[in-house]
Chain A
C-alpha cells in the first residue's frame, strides 16, 4: 500500500472533543454533517479545505478523551488517508484500526511541516518527505492489526469470514 498526500500539521494532545465537539452530539447519526465541523475549534479551515488522500501529522497523545468512534470516522468521511503522530490515545487507535484507517507512530514528526507532501510505503515502514527530501522509518503495526487495516476495517473482515481470529 502506497499513500501520498499533503500534510495537515497539529500539535500535542488533540482530544476527541477537539475533533468532534460534544455540542454536535445531535449530528452523530449524520456523519457527513458532523464531518464539516471536524477540528473546527483548533483550525477553522481544516474541514473546508482538506482534500482526498491528505495526511494528518500530530504530536503526542492524538485522540485522547472519549470513546466516540465518530472522531475516527469523520477523518475517513473527509478522505484523510493516514494519521501520523508521536503517540495515539488507546481507544482512538482501536477505532481507527477498526474502520481501516492506517496509523503510524513516528518519533520525527517535528521534522514534518504543514503543507509537506509525503509518500508512505505502509508495508516497508518508510515515509518519504518529497518537500524536504528526507525519509523516516517507522515500526510496522502488529500483523493482526495491519491485516484489519488492509481489509478496509473489521466490519469487512467479519462480513467476509463471519468471525475474527488472532
Chain B
C-alpha cells in the first residue's frame, strides 16, 4: 500500500514504516512555545525534573502580549527569558514577530516535524512539514526528552482546481472550505492540499491555507513541496532534497474533496463560528467599528500590499478604528521599503509593532461592548478579542481594507 506524505514523513522520522492509526514516538526537528503557553511549559519541564534540552531546535517566542500590558505577564515573560538563558534556548524578545512567521522565514524545511505549543503551528505545512499544535506539557516533553507521542493521522485530499476571480483570495478559499466541511469536519485528520490552483499559488497563499487547517479540527494541513517551495528555500539558503517528499499515487486517503476555486466569491465568517460562512454581498448592512489587518493568517507582505492597493487614494470611514500589524519584523521592514506603511498612516491606520496584536484579546485593541470587528485573523469565537459582548467577522485583507473605507462590510471589487 502506498503512503500519504504525512505517513512518509513520520516513517522517515521513526525509522520504520508506519500507517495511519498507529501511535508512535517522533523526534521533533523544532519545538517551541509562546508567551501564553511558555510559562506552563517551564513549570512542567521543572516538574518532570528535566536537566537539559534534548530537542534539536527549541524556541521561545514573546508574540502574544508583548511588550507586556500588565505586570503578571511581564513576570512570566521574564521567567521565559531566564529559562532560555539557563538552558541555552533561543528567545524572541523584541517584537520580532509571530512564532509561525519567524519559523517560516528562517528555520523550517520540508520533511521537518514541528511541535509548537500554539494551535496554528499547522501553518508550517505550507513548507511540506508535519507541523502540529500541542499543549505545554507535550512541548515540555519535546524539550526535555526530545520526543513526543503522536497518532499517525488519516489524510483528507483537498483538490483545489482552476484560478481565482479578481477580488478573491486564498483566505476566501479556506473560509469556504471550512464552511463546507464544518468546524469539526477534519478532527484528528491531516489535510493535503493539491490541484491546479495549488500548483500556481505563492508560498504566502499556501501559508494562509495551512494556517486555518486547525479551524476544521485538522491535526495539520500540508502542501507537498514543489518548485515553488524550492525557489523560496533557495532565496533563503535553506535548500534541501525534496525528492522523497511526494505522496504515493496509490496512497490511501480517508476522503477526497474537490473545489473549483473559480466559483468562489469574497466571503466572511460570521459570529461566533469560523464555519458560519456568508458571501460579503449578503452582509453590506453590517456596520463595523474596528478593522484589523494582520496575524499569522494574513499579516504577510502580500496581504499588506493587497490592502494598500485598495485604500490608497481613498478616505477612511470616520468611525472605524483601523489597526495594521505586520506578522514579523522582516514584513515590517519590507512594507516600509515599499512605502506601504506611509499609505496606511496617511489613510488613518494605527500601525503596531509585529506580533499577534489584538488577535487574542489581551491588549492593543480590545473591543467595547456591542462593537463589531472585521478582522483578517482566523478565529471569531465569542470573546476572542477580549469582550464577550462584541462580535467578530473574519475576511480577507481585501475585504477588510474595503470595509475600512466605507465603515460597513464591503465587497472589495467595488474598489479594484
Contacts and interface: CB of A to CB of B under 8 A. Distances in A.
A1 interface: no
Contacts of A90: 187-188, 217, 219
Contacts of A142: 23
B137 A17 contact: no
A36 interface: no
Contacts of B85: none
A28 interface: yes
A133 interface: no
Interface string A96-120: 0011000000000000000000000
B70 interface: yes
B137 A159 contact: no
Contacts of A159: 47-49
B251 to A, nearest CB: 22
Contacts of A41: 382-383, 388
Interface in A1-43: 13, 15, 17-18, 21-23, 25-30, 41
A23 B362 contact: yes
Contact of B381 (A65, A67, A99, A166): A65
A155 interface: yes
Specify which of A26, A95, A155 lies most central, judged by the most chain B CB atoms within 10 Å of its CB: A26
B136 A69 contact: yes
Interface in A124-166: 142, 144-145, 153-155, 158-159, 163-166
A66 B36 CA distance: 10
B147 interface: yes
Given A28-B36, A70-B40, A87 B381 contact: no
B167 interface: no
Contact of B118 (A13, A22, A29, A67): A67
B381 A89 contact: no
A95 B37 CA distance: 12
Interface residues of B: mostly helix, strand, loop or mixed?
loop
Interface residues of B, number: 54
A67 B388 CA distance: 20
Given A18-B383, A23-B362, A64 B49 contact: no
Contacts of A64: 183-184, 217
A23 B389 CA distance: 12
A166 B24 contact: yes
B149 interface: yes
A144 B386 CA distance: 38
A163 B384 CA distance: 37
8 contacts: A15-B382, A18-B381, A25-B360, A29-B39, A69-B135, A90-B188, A154-B141, A158-B145
Interface of A: 13, 15, 17-18, 21-23, 25-30, 41, 60-61, 64-70, 72, 87-91, 94-95, 98-99, 142, 144-145, 153-155, 158-159, 163-166
Given A23-B366, A91-B119, 20 more contacts: A13-B184, A15-B381, A17-B384, A18-B381, A22-B386, A23-B383, A25-B360, A26-B73, A28-B36, A28-B39, A61-B184, A61-B217, A66-B360, A67-B136, A88-B187, A91-B214, A98-B137, A153-B137, A155-B44, A166-B24
